[in-house]
Amino acid sequence: MGLSRNFNPFSLENKTILITGASSGIGQATAIECSKMGANVIITARNEERLEKTFTQLKGNGHEKHLADLTVNEEIDKLVEKISKLDGLVNNAGIGKLLPIQFINEEELTKTLKINTIAPFLLTQKLYKKKKFNNNASIVFTSSVAGNFCITPGNTAYGMSKSALNAFMEYAAMEMGVQGIRCNCINPGRVETPLINDGTLSEEDRLKDIEKYPLKRYGKPEEIAYGIIYLLSNASSFMTGTSLVIDGGLTANA
């Protein structure tokens, strides 16, 4: 018997997916696009107003939203207790700030590592220990080309945090693979989100930077979301331990 004409390996129908940092940027786009693909979406972030804005844009029913500061252990524990079985987790919450090495202090470094690296580690660990992942679940980490592929001045703390995240993903893929749980990173170049529009780069520097991209533009949040959807879906069922680069050709041009 042939496949149904409605067969779509990229569908997220009947999958429950938790997305962190869903109040803006890539997280918000991922939540919205996952809902369009049929997923039951659970979104979390620290800003109630922005999280509600994302929630109102989700398609379909059965979605959930939970306020949580993932840098606080107790709030991770509370979130994990509220979660039922998951088919997917998108560890997306993150921060970034351009600072040359001589201006990085311990407080700034700790903050970046806590949000970008330690929080996704602890959330993944606690969900795993509590057996909240279904067999064949998919975990996606939003990393960056700054972690491994594209080293630029002033991006030390951010790059360190993403490099560590890439390493954790590979170890998690090895250990969780016995249960069919897949772990992959998405590694974007610069994307038009509030994270990069913080005034750190002047307009002149921004235009110079864009020239490094063969496509002569930065990415859009939904373009990264589509890659995340691929990694969450059955279409990537034989992919684990992989860093998927979506960077408009930046690293090819390096």
Instruction: Give the active site residues.
Output: 158
The sign of the torsion formed by the CA atoms of 189, 28, 32, 64 equals positive
Identify whether the C-beta of residue 225 lies closer than 8 Å to the C-beta of residue 22. no
* Cα 180 from Cα 240, distance rounded (Å): 10
* Cα 157 from Cα 93, distance rounded (Å): 16
CB atoms within 10 A of CB 250: 22
**Phi, psi of 89, rounded to the nearest 5 degrees:** -135, 130
Q: What is the maximum span of the chain, computed from C-alpha positions, in angstroms?
A: 65
CA Rg value for the chain: 18
Question: Where do we find the tokens 């509030």?
Answer: 194
* Cα 190 from Cα 127, distance rounded (Å): 30
For residue 102, the one-letter residue type is Q
